[in-house]
Amino acid sequence: SPTCASSSHHQTPAVTMAETADAQAVRLYVKGVVLGFKRGMRTQYCHTALIKIQGVEDSEDVDFYLGKKIAYIFKAHTEKKGSKYRVVWGKVCRAHGTNGVVKCKFRTNLPPKAIGGPVRVMLYPSRI
């Protein structure tokens, strides 16, 4: 009797790249969370946000993300340019400590309601 591995009816058909691209979307960013703003004991510096990037656990991993673009996407009440969604763009500047948190500067300061909210860390521009 034939084994399962050698029988032809158990083999999967060859799938091309185009078929897999149609079947499932590919996420071209890494998820992150806004922790708050850079601050001292008494003073908060709103022009620099602290972001925790998913999967980054130490300062050596941060090196890959330096210079990468970050998007904070939020939904507004009024529609502009055919969409209710707005984006504030920023970039990763440096590490914050040794635990995988990064300091980021945005074009406009993030609103306070962004704290605890999601951001998208884009995988461009590439430095490789």
Per-residue pLDDT of the chain (128 residues; tens, 9 = 90+): 555 554 444 444 444 455 555 678 899 999 999 999 999 999 999 999 999 999 999 999 999 999 999 999 999 999 999 999 999 999 999 999 999 999 999 999 999 999 999 999 999 999 88
**What residue type is 53 in one-letter code?**
I
Structure tokens at 16: 């091309």
Q: CB count, 10 Å around CB of 56?
A: 22
Distance between start and end Cα atoms, the chain = 53
Predicted TM-score (pTM) of this structure: 0.79
Q: Are the beta carbons of 51 and 104 closer than 8 angstroms?
A: yes
Taking phi over 0 as left and psi of -120 to 50 as alpha, with beta for the rest, 2 belongs to beta
